[in-house]
Chains A and B, each alone.
Chain A
């Protein structure tokens, strides 16, 4: 198992390296002179030229890339062009908010999604099943920002139960994490339903039923464990997607996380910050995938460590 994990970790290196190249080039190939943008529309040409040197934008591309990579390996992500603070510090100060949101949402989505999926599968083709699936359809179709504003209008403006936005106590966490969880909940519910239905039709389940086990035990002890294998993958992928979804949710709810930092960095063409955040997202994806693979191997003995 240890060697398996180690090998998977080594595979991640070329992936991450490729990511750095892609990020680096993408950020620079979009039109727009970052020095001009940061200096402001009213700045003179000399101001812009000075800033270009200051940001290292006058160097050839490959040189800029090697400098970026070398520094990143030492944990130095550069200085934010817009605010003149170290990027690592900027990201660090926002990381907690985003991780809190993503973890809470994943937990909520997994819980609600599994319950809904199981209920749906065990009552397949009943009105309850249809209701759950319609709700799931709504969950995947509704845009995040719209759902966010609607929840805000209902719970903050109308009912005054919860704060409309911002960052603070647990109350502030409820609306954004529900908003963010909606899509994943729906996906997990549908996945669970499908997977469980398939498993319930398998021979070993029939055997379990035939030997007279109560239906609840057939589902929880026998079918569910097998049905969960593909669901784990989906949960893992959703955690990654949540980091991305956080961009919209954080903007809607004024949540001071990395997603919003990314949005403002893109608007300001703040190269170092964009690079740093996308690199972090890539790292998170790789780690989550690794965890999923390991869990997979643990849940399904058929998967070998070779």
Chain B
């Protein structure tokens, strides 16, 4: 037995000695290989609901306008300029000249009209049709001009037009492929820096550089998205040099990867807010003091550093920091104060605590099941016995979409992100009384007439200063009535090989590597 043990030790030493030295600087590889966690469900821009997939589609298709996250404003893309009428009902876009689709046909106003009308057509499956449903008519006054006529003023329309769903499709390519087949074939259909080459189900999606691209030429000839569902395997493939970039390696490894000589961790905050929604129509949670006590009882900072490996920032408002209309209600979040929590519970008549069912998904958000257990442990200190339960995501969605009279929800973990950076997305979606399940996804069942009025006004006027003021008031009310335990906004991360430079993460959980370089 001792002999065998020595053998194992010897083997380890030999393995360590054999380990290859760090890769030397070299010419850029012909193909940039990126490991992603999921296969695409559809390549059709119209059908996009998953950020990772939209991210791949962005290599092929482009939108009229883009979002500059550094400057926090909408910038030209396929349209070079635009004008909004004084009443906010007409948008006129001038298209970039000389742009051609991958099939060789020119980008014209007709193509834009085709794309937008296809999105508005109820026969096309567009899960996020609300992005453009303010558009009533698309006109083409000249071959290079598109005019959108709205049925009502929409302060978010321009930003909405930066999202992948609205990317412009070549009508000729769509006709050749067949509109329904755009889900699996994008040959010739986009204007983007890369052209669709092949999609081998479950294995990879391959795109190849567009030689006639109107913008700056990317460094890599091809980009291959390798589909690797297991986070540990993505990390191993990156370390083995099989891929140059890996989406979301296991969170507990992030600190170690930061120190790895061959790896760069790219980490950035996003607009995904993570919270514990309390059913405001259930038992003790009917009392705002109890909900406030819950906020005092949880030490978010400690959980962030010990369970989330610092992959988050404590929330200071129901609306994440980079969104239009954000108002930091309480910098640093609700303070950790168990004494105050106990006092509030006594005032509310539940000084002896209570028992509550606490639902959380597993693996949907960074360390979700783990931080839910940490929260339950801290609640126990003030006498609240939260029983953590978890289930698979489909069952979870079924559970949280039950209407109030049938729901079993008491408190639950949820993350909310929006595809465009405007507080409307989170505030209306989570706190307007029309959004209670099963019509919406606001499982706190929060109801406040003043908040309803503020949010309704803010989404139908175009005066941005006025909107800011409305959101400021709404955020303050919501924060103080505390239908959530406000936790943090989550960060997003990818690991890349050291040689790959210029990769960034956008606030909407996308990576930006189209113009990455090699050193």
Q: Which residues of A contact B (CB under 8 A)?
A: 30-34, 36-37, 39-47, 50-51, 82-85, 90, 93-94, 131, 145, 148-149, 152-154, 156-160, 163-167, 251-254, 256-257, 260-261, 263-264, 266-269
Contact = CB atoms under 8 A, between A and B. Distances in A.
A131 B4 contact: yes
B136 interface: no
Contacts of A154: 15
Contacts of A47: 125-127, 129
Given A256-B200, A256-B202, A268 B128 contact: no
B129 A153 contact: no
Contacts of A267: 392-394
A40 B49 contact: yes
A40 B393 CA distance: 12
A49 B282 CA distance: 29
A94 B202 contact: yes
B182 to A, nearest CB: 10
Given A83-B41, A157-B240, A251-B229, A40 B128 contact: yes
Interface in B97-152: 122, 125-130
A164 B439 contact: no
Given A43-B128, A260-B202, A33 B19 contact: no
Interface string B236-247: 110111100000
Nearest to A270: B41
B228 interface: yes
Interface string B182-223: 011000000000000000111100000000000000000000
Contacts of B228: 165-166, 254
Contact of A41 (B16, B230, B232, B397): B397
7 contacts: A32-B397, A39-B49, A42-B49, A47-B129, A166-B228, A252-B232, A260-B202
- Indicate the member of B130, B239, B399 with the most A CB atoms within 10 Å: B239
A165 B235 CA distance: 11
A84 B201 contact: no
Contacts of B49: 39-43
Nearest to A97: B202
A265 to B, nearest CB: 11
B330 interface: no
Nearest to A83: B41
A101 to B, nearest CB: 13
Given A83-B41, A83-B42, A165-B233, A156 B242 contact: yes
A172 to B, nearest CB: 10
Contact of B395 (A31, A159, A268): A31
B73 to A, nearest CB: 24
A31 B236 contact: no
Nearest to A33: B398
Contacts of A43: 49, 127-128
A93 B201 contact: yes
Contacts of A145: 230, 232
A185 to B, nearest CB: 19
A158 B18 contact: yes
Given A36-B397, A42-B49, A149 B232 contact: yes
Given A37-B394, A51-B125, A163-B242, A263 B229 contact: yes
A51 B39 CA distance: 21
A289 B227 CA distance: 34
A94 B39 CA distance: 14
Contact of A253 (B15, B129, B233, B441): B233
B170 interface: no
Contacts of A51: 125
A233 to B, nearest CB: 33
- The secondary structure that dominates the B interface is loop
Contact of A44 (B35, B129, B230): B129
A32 B438 CA distance: 13
Given A93-B201, A164-B242, A254-B228, A149 B233 contact: yes
A158 B19 contact: yes
B180 interface: yes
A267 B363 CA distance: 12
Contact of A260 (B200, B229, B239): B229
A294 to B, nearest CB: 34
Nearest to A45: B439
B394 A269 contact: yes
Across the A-B interface, give the 3 residue pairs with the lowest CB-CB distance, nearest first. A40-B49, A256-B202, A32-B394
Contacts of A263: 229
B226 interface: yes
A153 B4 CA distance: 22
B183 A84 contact: yes
Given A82-B41, A165-B237, A267-B393, A251 B230 contact: yes
B396 to A, nearest CB: 8
A149 B230 CA distance: 10
Nearest to B123: A50
A261 B200 CA distance: 13
B20 interface: yes
Given A42-B130, A251-B229, 18 more contacts: A30-B394, A30-B395, A31-B398, A32-B397, A36-B397, A39-B125, A43-B128, A83-B41, A83-B184, A94-B202, A131-B4, A149-B232, A149-B233, A152-B233, A152-B236, A257-B202, A264-B229, A267-B394
B401 interface: yes
Nearest to A37: B394
A157 B399 contact: no
A156 B236 contact: yes
B257 interface: no
B183 A83 contact: yes
Nearest to A82: B41
A253 to B, nearest CB: 7
B89 interface: no
B38 interface: yes
Nearest to B438: A45
Nearest to A167: B203
Contacts of A94: 201-202
A302 B2 CA distance: 48
A12 to B, nearest CB: 30
Interface string B10-48: 000001101110000000000000010011011000000
Nearest to A146: B232
- Indicate the member of A32, A36, A82, A267 with the most B CB atoms within 10 Å: A32
